[in-house]
Amino acid sequence: MPALLDIAGISIAFGGLKAVQDFSLALAPGDLQGLIGPNGAGKTTVFNLLTGVYRSTTGTVRLEGRRLDGLKPHQIARAGVARTFQASRLFGDLTVLDNVRIGCQLRTPFRLLATVLRTSRQVGSERHIRDRSETLLTTFGLAGRRNDLARNLPYGDRRRLEMARALATDPKVLLLDEPAAGMNAQEKTALRELIRAVRGQFGVTILLIEHDMGVVMDICERITVLDYGVTIAVGPPAEIQRDPKVIEAYLGTS
């Protein structure tokens, strides 16, 4: 199957530190892949490169053949790559509903004059945005909290809201940055189900950064391991677990 997202040899250095070197990865439609590595290996930097927060100095990123590298973050979001953030970056002083609405409105055009005059089309698209947002909130079990401020949500709800907000932009590829961070065992189990269900229901292709090996090994079909910005292993979970280089990267040499 041809790759949906084709990452070919991207790199970035901060001063002398080569944070990511020659990183390549291909996601086929419907894939659920994992990106792991010790702290500071450059995983989040890869996400920042993919979403245009940083600009890669080498290589290309293609979504369905279209070049994404060099585009601004909002253009990449429009092209169909959405992400969540490691540290929650919700719009804290806005309501849960508004957080999702901001994601939804990417696919619904709005203009200043139409907004000020409240034209029929404008009222219609605002309704559409609201209805879609409500549906998403129901799907993620957040409907009862729609009017709460995002910063007042408990931790688990925040992570789900991050995901709902990213999915609201109607992406083709979803990048999840440590969705299980800070969760207890029970929440982690629920999260696995949620990620699987998201893939099934929204038809998105997922790339996942995760520290929790249980989660990664369970749900990912293929895993890429980074260490000091370099890809040291690629393969299915069972292979990765046995890979001596991976074990060395995590546990150190004896």
Partner 1 sequence: MASAPQTAIRPTPAAWTILPRNAGPLALGLGLALILHFWVQPASGAFKTKVLLDIGINIILAVSLTLVNGFTGQFSIGHAGFMALGGYIAGAITYYGSFRLFGDAGFQGGILSWTTSQGSFVGPILGAGDLLFLVACIGGGLVAALAGYLVGLPSLRLRGDYLAIVTLGFGEIVRVILQSSRPQLYLAAEITSTSWPRLFTQLGGALGFILLPSYTTLFWVYFFVALTLVVTYRIKRSSYGRAFLSIREDEVAAEAMGVPTTRFKVRAFVLAAFFAGVAGSLFAHSIGGINAGELGFQKSFDVVIMVVLGGMGSISGSTLAAIILTILPEALRTVTTWANQYLPTEYALPDLRMIIYSLALILMMILRPQGLFGLHEIWDLWRRRGRAPSRPL
Interaction site with partner 1 (CB under 8 A):
51-53, 72-74, 77-78, 82-83, 85, 89-95, 97-98, 101-103, 105-106, 108, 110, 112, 115-132, 134-136, 138-141, 146-149, 152, 165-166, 168-169, 193-194, 197-198, 201
Based on CB atoms, which residue is closest to partner 1, 55 or 89? 89
CB of residue 116 to partner 1, shortest distance in Å: 5
CB of residue 147 to partner 1, shortest distance in Å: 4
CB of residue 64 to partner 1, shortest distance in Å: 17
Tokens of 132: 């879609």
CB of residue 209 to partner 1, shortest distance in Å: 15
Q: What are phi and psi of 117, to 5 degrees?
A: -85, -5
Based on CB atoms, which residue is closest to partner 1, 13 or 190? 190
Tell me how many degrees the CA angle 179-99-170 measures, rounded to the nearest 5: 70
Nearest to 25 by CA among 205, 228, 218: 205
CB of residue 127 to partner 1, shortest distance in Å: 5
CB of residue 32 to partner 1, shortest distance in Å: 16
Based on CB atoms, which residue is closest to partner 1, 55 or 242? 55
CB of residue 177 to partner 1, shortest distance in Å: 11
Query: How far is CA 194 from each of CA 34, 156, 189, rounded to the nearest angstrom?
Result: 16, 12, 9
Based on CB atoms, which residue is closest to partner 1, 59 or 141? 141
Q: Measured in Å, how far apart are the chain's first and last C-alpha atoms?
A: 41
* Residue 70: alpha-carbon gap to chain centroid: 19
Based on CB atoms, which residue is closest to partner 1, 17 or 117? 117
Q: In the chain, count of helices (H) and strands (E)?
A: 10, 10
Based on CB atoms, which residue is closest to partner 1, 9 or 200? 200
Based on CB atoms, which residue is closest to partner 1, 35 or 233? 35
Tokens of 178: 């440590």
Nearest to 145 by CA among 132, 193, 133: 133
The side-by-side arrangement of strands in the sheet containing 66-67 is 17-27, 5-14, 58-63, 66-67
Query: How far is CA 151 from each of CA 89, 99, 163, rounded to the nearest angstrom?
Result: 10, 11, 15
Which residues, listed in sequence order, are joined to residue 222 by a DSSP beta bridge? 33
